Structure 1
Amino acid sequence: MTILSLVGCIIILWFLSSKKKVIEIVVNTDNVPIANPHNVVEEKEIAASPEIPSHFVFKSKLNQNSFEPFKPQFSSYAEALKYIAIEHNHRKTVIISTADAGYLDMTLNFFIGSIKRHGLTNFLMLCIQRESCDIFRNHGIPVYYYSTENAGGSASRYNSPEFRRKTHIKTRIVLDALKLNYTVVLSDVDIFYVKNPLEHWPCPDCDLQVSSDYVEANSGFYLVKANAAGKLLHEEMLKRVRPNNSNQKTLNPAMKHLKTHGKLRYHTLNNVKWPCGIVYWENEKRMWYTDKFTPEHVLIHNNWIETSEAKIYRFKEHQMWYLDKDKYYSNGEAKYMTYSNPFNFEKKTRGIEGDALADAIGIAMALKRILILPKFHCDGCKYSACKSPSRLCALNVRFHLQEFDREFKSMYREHVFLDHPFVPSNIKNSQSKELLIETDDLKHNNFSDIPYGKNRRFKPKDTAKGATSDEIIAWFDSEEFRHISVLHFRMMYNAFKGFTDSQENNKYKEKIRRGLVKGGYRQYRWEN
């Protein structure tokens, strides 16, 4: 063997040993015009690529459906901090969050996907309601009951009086920890840690390092040292509390006032590495997790959108959801269906796609299947996120997620559901070819030439109004389709006439009326 050959072998062996395992989605089109990307049929090992975010490579040990309770119970805040704190940069450091039971799922996802994933052992959840503490403790989260507040059982709407009142409790919590000589990282739970933030602080000499909310400093994530400046800042914040302001509105003037008088050194974390919601999703035009990857990100704050339901949904569509509660992802026995919105009807698009979603929900209910959402056309959306490369949008561009979840929470999954690594391979490997319900809409809109064989076309008796529940069940709950995990439909335009049983049909119509409430991307109440 020549020296050149030997060197070549060494290079090849080094390359093979350095491969990292990630998931590649392989699409089987089967010579069929597939409108959606869900025809996943296998998983394959490929070399790691800078195009694939590292947080999309999930660790199986984080896929948990049960939690060991957190057993230690502390008699004082000092005892809790002493138990939790670690030495970091020669300072006793703790990561603190506050939440109530209304934010349970968000908190669990934060704990699993950000705290545990990065091996952070110095995390403490401060509860403002004893019942919330019990719930968090039973789910394995280190907790301490801080106050006697009795209004912490439900999620407060952003900027409501209740929301603002709760934020000021965080200021007192941090100040008390500083007085006990602990450096504090205060973190909201609607944040996703792409990297371990403790390893990426840019200003070691600063008293305060605070994230940006685009227009001002963001009280949802900051590090403050246990020194005179840090304590003075939080005392100044408490002096500025008013009935109509939040802790963020006290933080900004307090830090500027102290800096002006030479009493505080602070650094605002840039939105390139530590982006808030308007930067990450809107300014950088992200609607789907595949749109863009920036390797510099340390964390992503899921703000600039209202309601916990909408935040959770956005996390899911961006593969930042690690909570597999009640086998949300890992149920190998569940049955699903999905469909596409392949055509743009311009000004009529919103109404037509809304009707198609209602029909899809009805068909899913009739078949007792879970609906995997399609992509929607973005017509009428003014936000930059809607200008993502695909020009196709998620559900929150069309409907209010709070109302949608109230009616359909357990009945649907996000569009990228089948891409999630927790979904079992037997689900991904069991998918139908595209199915077509033939109605008059196909003729009226020149869809009738779509090349589908007879075994994949289904024509209802009433082609003007669509198929009844009895027809749907006869076709798709048959021996041919019953055991297929995922049914793919080409479209749902005027596909479902309703349930044959009048009482069942009335219940379905009422759920549609209550659940499909027009909304906009940020979920503001006036966006409809």
Structure 2
Amino acid sequence: MSSFLHQRPLQNSLSDPDELSPRSLQNYQKPTAAFLRRPAVLVLLSLLIILGVLSPYIHSPASLLSVSSNTKWRSYTLPDAAAYVAKNNTLIVCAVSEAYLPFLNNWLISITRQKHHEKVLVIAEDYATLYKVNERWPGHAVLVPPALDASAAHKFGSQGFFNFTARRPRHLLQILELGFNVMYNDVDMVWLGDPFPYLKGEHDVYFTDDMAYVKPLDHSHELPPPGKKGRTYICSCMIYMRPTNGAKLVMKKWIEELEAQPWSKVKKANDQPAFNWALNKTAGQVDLYLLPQKAFPTGGLYFKNQTWVQETKGMHVIIHNNYITGFEKKIKRFHDYGLWLVDDHASESPLGRLK
């Protein structure tokens, strides 16, 4: 870079002090072509030309900074991001497209209250999300190419939604291969407490039951028995894994199951059945741990069984707003239960108030 900026010093053509006399001014001639070939002049002319070409597209110095910043984040890789964000060799990961940014912010507020937000890495599924998060919280978002069509990923059961969620195990496997512990959350969750004290022992994979029936408070932490469809009904929206061979095996099997059960208009597949098949088929080889229902209830239990909620009051750690579809319906339910934090507490989020 320094060699680009180095130039030969210009010679002083007016070295004779008499050249500035009235007689010399009478003989003065306009600069010749040879003068215009001098490096400093050429550089100046080049800059003027470049600015003239770009001026219709540049509205302020901030525009140049934005272009430069966006270019930087496009080349930001998952290994770079994981190394930058991880604390105590641990990451908290979510995958988000632009339409889910209000939910991301709500989730982040609840995590910030538990003082774990600095571990959060947002895997952006479109460039708008990548730029917006990193503009406000530099380094905490990364996009793993290719970027998806964000407008097609919002409806549960659609092919766009399947394409979006089917990338999840590949992201998680790559993080495990880098040697990090990783917790995955969907962003339609709210933290009411710190989940890390519940990640007891040295198990490979920790997960939650997605069934709404009430379990005993001291229920087993073993993988539940298969249901009517021949598989368990474990939630793929809250997972914690250590970088062990067992955890990597589950992610690889999850990828295989997704490839074996692609989306079709008839099946309308999603990622969760494939995750359950992966758990069931690797159960004998992997150390699995079912998290306590009282701390990690499914939405079908927390939002629909108020008797149970009262009986377990003060025990709830992460609430999942599932068993309901649609942005507006999820937001209303969070509002009804005092869990929509964005409106009044946006300043607590690392992203601030998103427009």
Shift of residue 176, structure 1, vs aligned partner: 0.6
**Is 1:277–2:299 an aligned residue pair?**
yes
Q: Which amino acid aligns with 2:341?
A: Y
Say what the alpha-carbon RMSD is for the aligned residues.
2.7
Number of corresponding residues = 249
Cα offset, 1:196, TM superposition: 1.4
Superposition deviation, residue 140 in structure 1: 3.2
Cα displacement string for residues 393-415 of structure 1 (whole angstroms, at most 9, x for unaligned residues): xxxxxxxxxxxxxxxxxxxxxxx
Asked whether the 8 Å contact 1:133–1:144 carries over to 2, the reply is: yes
Q: 2:8 matched to which residue of 1?
A: none
Counterpart residue number, 1:76: 77
Are 1:304 and 2:323 matched, yes or no? yes
Equivalent residue letter for 1:323: V
Superposed displacement of residue 221, structure 1: 0.4
- 1:152 pairs, out of 147, 150, 153, with 150
Conserved? CA contact 2:123–2:144, under 8 Å? yes
> 2:60 maps to which residue?
none
Q: Find the partner of 2:241 among 224, 233, 236.
A: 224
SS of residue paired to 2:167 = helix
Shift in CA distance, 279/233, structure 1 to aligned 2, threshold 3 Å? same
Q: Is the 8 A contact 1:132 1:153 kept in 2?
A: no
Displacement after TM superposition at 1:326 (Å): 11
1:284, distance to aligned residue in structure 2 (A): 3.1
The SS at the match of 2:179 is coil
The question of 1:236 aligning with 2:232 is answered no
Q: In structure 2, the residue corresponding to 1:282 is in which secondary structure?
A: coil
Q: Work out whether residues 104 and 136 of structure 1, in 8 Å CA contact, stay in contact via their aligned partners in 2.
A: no
Residue of structure 1 equivalent to 2:275: 251
Q: What does residue range 9-408 of structure 1 map to in structure 2 within 5 Å?
A: 73=73, 75-87=76-88, 92-112=89-109, 114-120=110-116, 121-140=118-137, 142-153=140-151, 156-201=154-199, 203-214=200-211, 216-241=233-258, 242-244=261-263, 245-259=269-283, 262-284=284-306, 294-324=313-343
Offset from partner CA, 1:210-262 (integer Å, 9 cap, x none) = 01111711000010110111111111111111223322111111111111xx3
> What secondary structure sits across from 1:86 in the alignment?
coil
* Identity over aligned pairs, percent: 22
How far apart, in 1, do the equivalents of 2:182 and 2:163 lie?
21
Report the 3-state secondary structure (helix = DSSP H, G, I; strand = E; otherwise coil) of the residue aligned with 1:248: helix
1:129–1:145: 8 Å Cα contact kept in structure 2?
A: yes
SS in 2 for 1:272: coil
Determine which structure has the larger strand proportion and give its number: 1
What are the superposed Cα offsets for residues 327-349 of structure 1, whole Å, 9 maximum, x if unpaired? 9xxxxxxxxxxxxxxxxxxxxxx
Give the letter aligned to residue 187 of structure 2.
Answer: V
Cα offsets for 1:149-200 (capped at 9, x unmatched): 3312465122222212211111110011011111110110001111111222
- Alignment gaps of 5+ in structure 1: 1-68, 328-528
- Contact 1:187/1:221 (CA < 8 Å) preserved in 2? yes
The one-letter amino acid paired with 1:258 is T
Structure 1 residue 106, shift from structure 2 partner? 0.8
Distance 2:311 2:166 in 1: 36
SS of aligned partner of 1:240: helix
**Matched residue SS, 2:148:** coil
Alignment-mate amino acid for residue 119 of structure 1: K
Q: How high is the TM-score relative to the length of structure 1?
A: 0.44
Which letter maps to 2:251?
H
Say whether the 8 Å CA contact 1:171–1:247 is kept in structure 2. no
TM-score, structure 2 length as denominator?
A: 0.65
- Structure 1 segments, 4+ long, off by >3 Å, are 69-74, 138-141
**Matched residues in 1 for 2:108 and 2:345: separation?**
17
C-alpha distance in structure 2 between counterparts of 1:164 and 1:154, whole Å: 10
Contact kept in structure 1, 2:148 and 2:164, CA below 8 Å = no
